[in-house]
Structure 1
């Protein structure tokens, strides 16, 4: 159904998501040429710059503009009432067992870089980054958007009058035959490219040998979140410097982007996580929920970086917001402590 006075779908749309959250220069507002390296063939989809003979990373439409400003112009023309954009950036997780999972930015290739915008994320240059997983020699995902490209996209959206909602996204990159024990079964491999909502204990609740409902479960959760803090980030206009522990953890992931948003022209809202269903259902001793407690602590660290005016949200999966059915007639409303925290502004539901 459409509101009174709205005659078309195009007029009804007020917000969009800038998908897919991967692609090293997908968010850049300037054309980026890639230098050759390692004798590798470029994947399909890259185009040749006629003037230089080099490969364009992010120009795929007539006119010579980079893809992001081209898309933004089309958005304003075709969906004139859009006022908000969900800006997505992905890091990569490598294990469904929370105590063993690392989360880090990755690139498609380490041997060739943007000439006008060398790839750097969280202080890591391309040469020191890991490459995303491959199938048939090709990356299964685009790389993490460069920090510089994210700053450009935020500036472009603000300049176009769009409210920016920043959405850090966790992609899992295990492939078939990964040799990682599945915490949800007795299988010797985890599923290929699983959903982040399946991250759980070394043995999921209900599985033989699980640490659920013990202090050991809280320790596994703590390993996943890590110890990075807001004070580990030094923010200046357009730059972020990290001096905390050398960990690739969930806290470093989220706090890096909170710091980057603080260094930008400003965002309207920031998401501290999304669809972490199984993680947030883990119980510690006394049927506490250690991941919920960790998320609340992280919420306050993000608030310290972004200040009082930015709206903060956790985007729950549609299957988790109504509570956790632990069986035996017991339902826990485990997210209530997070939903009701004074630092949280919005109860978000991913659908």
Structure 2
């Protein structure tokens, strides 16, 4: 309309100057009218979002109590420092150029603040919640100060306040958020809470080495996120079940180092699966939880085997009985990450027995079928009574040297360790007690011979800079006394311990440290324990008590506390039968006995020749765990149980 009116008005005014003036006036009027029309009818609209009138925030109150934390707890933070909110302006335009469109301006706000937690030092912060919702701390800038007496000032506080004016808050554990987005919290500082870890006691600071499990985890050792698509359009992280780090591996190692600041070494367990307790029929295979994963972002692969070709572990209670074997790429990543953290790494090949209930397999121990999910130490020759025969040697040879046998497991991981740039130590396996005790017709121990040969092969792969050992069971390392009444005594692992390729005598140490009963609360303990948690009592029984001074000849004797002294009437060497007497075993020459008669020459293991390594040590976190440290609860396994006299 403005175009028409101004066009007519321009023509009228221009006519004063004749026809040419009328034409010019008409054109000028049309142009001015067009501009007015666009502004009135199709002009750009300005839309402004909500904007804070003030970016100031309230400060901390004087005299606020500083909490003192013991253990792990959820704490609220106290504001101890903050800046004005940072404002960020974002302008977006919609619509075409000719129509003008809409220009929208929104405002985003970010908070810089420090929150005091508790008296330090703490180990760290595990989780963070804002208004009750857990934050993904990998997506925000958050720095934790443990509250030491030497902690520096935060660089952001120093930049804002000036280095000379920035407090370090020494002795106070606190957290600094830098540019915390406030969009999801109504442009205000939310209520922030923290799961704080503060160890009490001295144990954590004394820990120098740990064994890293689960060992059976397809991608759990990966340092990058791995995903699959369980359904159309869905994405699931396979190795991220925490919001504190990019992967579960990184979250675990970060927390481990925070809790154990003097940690030096990590033993990385990598598991394959045994399929049978009969040595001659047992295959040792890398396994997977499921035979197919849709859109797996990094396909699982072990020893050149893809998921579709791998052994699938059995099912139990509606799911896989075990996690799968760690993918080769994840093992290499884990080794490199451990070393990058300044820690030593031991690679630990491991056998899990995947034998479900109802398996129908002939039992080398004479049962109706093999026990469900048994201990690897029960692998044995078949049928019962095969010990001391040529068949025992043949079955051991099959177990070790068949195409899917034990040797393949060990050498695969030796090669993988080399591909990762090397490891500090390598274990040939552990607790294969039934196999190491098997004899052929000449009283030789074929599986021990195989371990000696494997030690040489692993040395050839990894070179002289890697320590090598075997994690013998605590009932296995010191010798074998067949329960056949023969009087035979063998230091059967001595050829392995004496091998020039073996660095140390490895022991999975689950020796009993107590014999505590509830009645000891009222009557005096025969071992002088003052309570179930008597640390001095535990220290004494490292070199006394069961397995050193005495043993229980039967379960009836154990219940009645009838103790039989450990003696050696023939040669006066009771240490030969004492699994706890490590010092005497280490300091004395070893003489095998055949038919109870000591041989003229000692074994090849010279006294004090090799150091001891405790390749595993511990007990179940259960009532009276020290009574029987080698017993654990596992509902699916026939080995499951509680320690003696545990409630």
Q: What TM-score, normalized to structure 1?
A: 0.85
Match of 2:290 in 1: 109
Match of 1:89 in 2: 270
Q: What whole-Å deviation, never above 9, does each CA across 1:259-318 have from its counterpart, x for those lacking one?
A: 100110221000001001110110002111111111111111111111111000011000
Judge conservation of contact 1:158–1:265 (CA < 8 Å) in 2: no
Match of 1:154 in 2: 335
- Structure 1 unaligned residues grouped into runs of 5+: 1-6, 40-51, 228-246
CA distance in 2 between partners of 1:174 and 1:274 (Å): 19
Match of 1:278 in 2: 434
Report whether the alignment pairs 1:338 with 2:496: yes
Report whether the alignment pairs 1:266 with 2:422: yes
Q: What whole-Å deviation, never above 9, does each CA across 1:83-126 have from its counterpart, x for those lacking one?
A: 10010010000101000000000000111067332100010001
Match of 1:55 among 231, 236, 241: 236
Match of 1:14 in 2: 208
Deviation at 1:136, TM superposition (A): 3.1
Q: What whole-Å deviation, never above 9, does each CA across 1:213-259 have from its counterpart, x for those lacking one?
A: 122211111000016xxxxxxxxxxxxxxxxxxx1100001100001
Judge conservation of contact 1:174–1:190 (CA < 8 Å) in 2: yes
Match of 1:192 in 2: 372
Judge conservation of contact 1:86–1:167 (CA < 8 Å) in 2: yes
Judge conservation of contact 1:32–1:114 (CA < 8 Å) in 2: no
Match of 2:229 in 1: 35
Deviation at 1:63, TM superposition (A): 3.7
Report whether the alignment pairs 1:139 with 2:295: no
Judge conservation of contact 2:425–2:467 (CA < 8 Å) in 1: yes
Match of 2:395 among 220, 236, 253: 220
Q: Secondary structure at the match of 1:88?
A: strand
Q: Secondary structure at the match of 1:325?
A: coil
Match of 1:254 in 2: 410
Change (3 A) 1:195 1:114: farther
Deviation at 1:54, TM superposition (A): 0.5
Q: What whole-Å deviation, never above 9, does each CA across 1:196-220 have from its counterpart, x for those lacking one?
A: 10101012xxx3xx33212221111
Match of 1:328 among 468, 471, 486: 486
Match of 1:122 in 2: 303
Q: Which consecutive aligned stretches of 4+ in structure 1 deviate over 6 angstroms post-superposition?
A: none
Deviation at 1:130, TM superposition (A): 1.8
* Residues 75-86 of structure 1 aligned to structure 2 (within 5 Å): 75-86=256-267
CA distance in 2 between partners of 1:144 and 1:265 (Å): 21
CA distance in 2 between partners of 1:115 and 1:278 (Å): 39
Q: What whole-Å deviation, never above 9, does each CA across 1:151-192 have from its counterpart, x for those lacking one?
A: 01011101001100110110001111101011011x231000
Q: Secondary structure at the match of 1:92?
A: strand
Report whether the alignment pairs 1:295 with 2:476: no
Which deviates more from structure 2 when the two are superposed, residues 322-331 or residues 107-116? 107-116
Match of 2:472 in 1: 316
Larger Rg: 2
CA distance in 1 between partners of 2:205 and 2:212 (Å): 19
Judge conservation of contact 1:181–1:189 (CA < 8 Å) in 2: yes
Judge conservation of contact 2:245–2:251 (CA < 8 Å) in 1: no
CA distance in 2 between partners of 1:136 and 1:105 (Å): 22
Deviation at 1:64, TM superposition (A): 5.0
CA distance in 1 between partners of 2:245 and 2:506 (Å): 38
CA distance in 2 between partners of 1:35 and 1:144 (Å): 20
Judge conservation of contact 2:435–2:447 (CA < 8 Å) in 1: yes
CA distance in 2 between partners of 1:167 and 1:220 (Å): 24
CA distance in 1 between partners of 2:256 and 2:491 (Å): 39
Change (3 A) 1:106 1:114: farther
State the superposition RMSD in angstroms: 1.7
Judge conservation of contact 2:303–2:412 (CA < 8 Å) in 1: yes
